[in-house]
Amino acid sequence: MTILDKIVKDKRQEVNLRKGLIPVMQLEQSVLFERKTVSLANNLRQSESGIIAEHKRRSPSKSVINQSLNVQDVAKGYEDAGVCGMSVLTDGKYFGGSLDDLLLARASCNLPLLRKEFIIDEYQLLEAKAYGADVILLIAAILSREEIKQFSEFAKSLNLDVLLEVHNEQELHKSVMPSLDMLGVNNRNLKTFEVSLETSKTLSALIPTDFVKVSESGISNIEAIKELKPYGYQGFLIGENFMKTDNAGESAKHFIKDLQS
């Protein structure tokens, strides 16, 4: 059983529990449910830097990254730094995040927010909307083509952007459909946790041009971004790089400044 299988198994139990606690009607009545969303895909198309900065306390591969930074400061810092969007991890057991992190980020900035989560149920999309997200992540490795279609179409009906993440050619072929906005290539091999930018380079030619291309994992310097831009990437998800410093916002600001100089 891989770590991903384990996460998904736990996630199914967690979602069933949450469904029992908070009915759909309650989510739909939340103040943020009617909020007009901001498109991350549009932001990336118009941006020079393309940075999506992440709030992430820990991960299965790196254990603790940073437990001391609070979400509000990170969100404000990222917005001041000029990032395109912010990714907020909401998984508790493996990443130390929560939906409250999303809520606090939403209250602190006007950036498009991505709910970074292992989505296996439509209920989680309603949660994302109710807690102030603009974008949801779908992971091809844990979903069938039918599920990707069902969840992405449902997300579009809620005016949420959809970022679909793939790790290889097989996942990419089963996933391409009109209800997606962005295609993310994760450079981390989920079986070995090794990271290689070659994954983004190899898959870039197979991604249709109607989608915004996003590269994820292993982007720790501006050279990596400069290397990937010729392959058509407009978005770059950066988590640990900013979060492992004392001031994620300042770290992002310097990074973007260096990138644009």
Taken as a whole, the chain contains a residue count of: 261
User: What was the pLDDT predicted at 176?
Assistant: 97
CB-neighbour burial class of residue 1 (10 A; exposed 0-12, middle 13-18, buried 19+): exposed
What are 143-159's pLDDT values in tens digits?
Answer: 999 999 999 999 999 99
Instruction: Classify 3-260 by CATH class.
Output: alpha beta
Closest of 130, 73, 137 to residue 105, by C-alpha: 73
User: What was the pLDDT predicted at 69?
Assistant: 79
- The structural domains of the chain, with segments of one domain joined by +, span 3-260
User: What was the pLDDT predicted at 96?
Assistant: 93
User: What was the pLDDT predicted at 10?
Assistant: 98
- What's the rounded Cα separation, in Å, for the pair 225 and 236? 7
User: Whole-model pTM?
Assistant: 0.96
CB-neighbour burial class of residue 54 (10 A; exposed 0-12, middle 13-18, buried 19+): buried
Closest of 98, 61, 69 to residue 217, by C-alpha: 61
Residues of the chain with pLDDT under 70: 62, 66
User: What was the pLDDT predicted at 64?
Assistant: 74
